[in-house]
Amino acid sequence: MPFRAVAVEVDEVEEGDPEQVARGNAARKARAAVGAAGPADTVLGADTVVALDGRILPKPRDREQARAWLRSLSGREHLVVSGICLVVAGAQRDAASATRVRFRSLTEAEIEWYLGTGEWRDKAGGYAIQGRGAALVAAISGDYWTVVGLPVPTLLELLGPGFLAGS
């Protein structure tokens, strides 16, 4: 499906209920993109949050914070929530998908290796499962695409039946 990516500047909320935060951030991004894309375009906004013990671990501001996030996730299970928001002909629909992720028990050398990749930059929780961050993960329970940041099954539900048949 042809698409155009539109960069928007939106202040992301980093505290609160993970599902509400992800949905709210996705909606703010979608509404901001409507202005850049045009009112007739279908717009999709998305946001992903990582939460450990109910506390959101946002994108790390620097390497030290990324190290702290990875240490806290090591050997533990956390929640990843991706919120999406569709704006179609001015009508807004949103949803969220949640997946549980369990990290391996990481050594300091493994944490330093991952930090050295730079992949942690601009990633909620300081890792990317679709890249080298896959080496940090022991198991997931739920939708892999939610952890990547675009829960495709949830998006297809929002688009409605017949979307795939009509494309």
Q: Tokens for 98?
A: 């949640």
Q: From the candidates 41, 47, 94, 143, give the one annotated as an active-site residue.
A: 47
Asked about 47 being catalytic, the answer comes back as: yes
Q: Tokens for 32?
A: 């901001």
Q: Tokens for 70?
A: 């990875």
Angle, to 10 degrees, between the axis of helix 108-117 and the axis of helix 63-73? 140
Render the burial of 109-125: b for 16+ CB within 10 Å, e for the rest: eebeebbeeebbeebbb
Q: Tokens for 142?
A: 């739920």
Question: Any idea which residues carry the catalytic annotation?
Answer: 47
